[in-house]
Amino acid sequence: MTTRLPQPDAQDRGFTLVEVLCALMVLAVALTGVFGVGVDGVSALARARHDSVSASAAAQKMEQLLALTWAEASADTATNLASDPPADGGPGLSPSPSDALDRDVPGWVDYLDADARVVAPGGAATFVRRWSVTPAPFAPGRALVLRVFVTSAATPAPVDRAARARMSGAVLLTTVRVRKDL
pLDDT in tens, 76-135: 889 999 888 889 999 999 999 999 998 899 999 999 999 989 998 877 898 999 999 999
DSSP string covering 50-103: HHHHHHHHHHHHHHHHHHS-BBSS-B---EETTSSS-EESS-TTSPPPTTTTTS
Residue 157 is predicted with a pLDDT of 58
CA neighbor of 99 nearest in space, from 154, 152, 159? 159
The rounded radius of gyration (Å) of the Cα atoms in the chain is 30
Does pLDDT of 165 surpass 70?
no
In this structure, how many other beta carbons lie within 10 angstroms of the beta carbon of residue 103?
14
Residue 107 is predicted with a pLDDT of 93
> Which residues does residue 180 pair with via DSSP β-bridges, in sequence order?
71
Inter-residue contact 153 to 179 (CB < 8 Å): no
State the Cα–Cα distance between residues 129 and 142, nearest whole angstrom: 26
3-class state of residue 115 by DSSP: coil
Residue 84 φ then ψ, to 5°: -130, 110
pLDDT band at 17 (very low <50, low <70, confident <90, very high): confident
In this structure, how many other beta carbons lie within 10 angstroms of the beta carbon of residue 51?
14
CA neighbor of 129 nearest in space, from 115, 109, 114? 109
Inter-residue contact 178 to 143 (CB < 8 Å): yes
pLDDT band at 182 (very low <50, low <70, confident <90, very high): very low
Percent of the chain with pLDDT over 70: 85
Instruction: Share the mean pLDDT of the chain.
Output: 84
Q: 133-156 pLDDT, tens per residue?
A: 999 998 888 899 999 999 988 876
